[in-house]
Structure 1
Amino acid sequence: MALTQHVLKPTINPPLYSFHRSLLTSKAPLSVQTHMNSLFSTPRGHYLQNRAPTFTRRLFIPSVSGIWDALTGGNNNSREAVVAIRRGMLLFRQGDVVGSVAEFDKAIELDPRQKAYLWQRGLSLYYLDRFEEGAEQFRIDVAQNPNDTEESIWCFLCEAQLYGVDEARNQFLEAR
């Protein structure tokens, strides 16, 4: 399978891609610990920890909303929402998935614009077996970002848990 490179989003690197591909063939949901071990164990961990940092559009969207609020005299909630998102990401990495969802929900409450970009919330919902909410979160993200193939895969994984693999395939989100 050939991977294409997008202007705003780098391609998935082979070790990480093979992990995501294995998710499609898995029969049961993976635990957070299994996921984190897969990403950061040797040799993948060595590969990920030593590669040059990459910057995607996702890093800039919360910042842009904060800049827009500053220029237009909007509220300061977007800055607090960005802090909540970062806390949620940290809690997820630490294995506190329930806490991460609480922080992501807080970010949405502070700045509803963030919901369209909170794929991290979808991951947390998946690991909490809240598949319906996870699928909804990924669908919202793909509607906003139609080139996002990873979110369409995660949506498929959520819906496969809910409806079975065949029905999830019928509803699969096609990324552009």
Structure 2
Amino acid sequence: MNKINELETELINWNKKLRIYPFDARNYIHRGMTYFKLGRIIESLKDYNKAEELNPQLTPYLWQRGLSYYYLGKYAQGARQFEIDLSVNSQDVEETIWHFLCIAQLEGIKEAQKCLLPVKYDPRPVMRKIYQLFAGNFSPEIFLSSSQTSNIRDTFYTHLYLGLFYEAHRGEIPILEVGKSIPSNVEKSRFHITEAIKYKLDDYMWYLARVHQQLRQAKVG
């Protein structure tokens, strides 16, 4: 059974559970995650909103909703979600990077770097390096060379966030060398997202990479 079929089966199961337990907020979150993995972003957002309606205490834990906001182009709402998330999870680099990505879409890279929220200490070394990349303390080349590892998960995250980094910087004009063609940041973004997808993980962010690729290809097409 391929991943799409598995997700469709997963969706059927969550639908069954919600018919039995229609007021279980966490079941809406789980179904929303399945919708997102299937690329059904609007449905995912509706489920996250329903979960919050049923249990407002979940609001600072709805990081998944922030990702749905991003891919729906609702960048202000996404930035606000990630800012709230950091109030209960101040060690997570990913929360502040996604806040950065939302601000970059709204106001540009310089403003996003000014608004880069502090992170106390993410225990994952690769995430600490990713933070330095987005803070402007590492060049993409130095970041990539310093992140070479046999750890598949770390390699996946290296390529995912490099792809997202280049997407955020897509408006910048690359410096051209005489007699040499340099890929645009859009092309670099596509390359690294494609590389990330090769490392098939049972991880929500792996599905995000696949959804990202599908949405960006559809936009170009």
Query: After TM superposition, is the score higher than 0.5?
Result: yes
2:170 alignment counterpart: none
2:79 alignment counterpart: 135
Specify the code of the residue in structure 2 equivalent to 1:81: A
Find the residue that maps to 2:90 and give its secondary structure.
Answer: coil
- 1:118 deviates by 0.6
1:112 alignment counterpart: 56
Gaps of 5+ in 2: 4-20, 121-221
Residues 1:90 and 2:34 are matched in the alignment: yes
Larger radius of gyration: 2
1:125 alignment counterpart: 69
1:155 alignment counterpart: 99
Structure 1 runs of 4+ aligned residues shifted over 4 Å read none
1:175 alignment counterpart: 119
In the TM superposition, 1:1-150 aligns within 5 A as 80-150=24-94
**Percent of pairs with identical residues:** 46
TM-score, normalised via structure 2 length: 0.44
Equivalenced residue count is: 101
Counterpart CA distance in 1 for 2:55 and 2:109 is 35
- 1:91 deviates by 0.3
- 1:148 deviates by 1.0
Counterpart CA distance in 2 for 1:149 and 1:161 is 19
Counterpart CA distance in 1 for 2:31 and 2:58 is 14
Counterpart CA distance in 1 for 2:114 and 2:30 is 35
The one-character-per-residue Cα deviations of 1:93-117 (angstroms, maximum 9, x if unpaired) are 0110000000000000000011110
The one-character-per-residue Cα deviations of 1:2-52 (angstroms, maximum 9, x if unpaired) are xxxxxxxxxxxxxxxxxxxxxxxxxxxxxxxxxxxxxx9xxxxxxxxxxxx
Specify the code of the residue in structure 2 equivalent to 1:82: R
TM-score, normalised via structure 1 length: 0.55
- 1:133 deviates by 0.2
Gaps of 5+ in 1: 1-39, 41-75
- 1:144 deviates by 1.3
Find the residue that maps to 1:144 and give its secondary structure.
Answer: coil
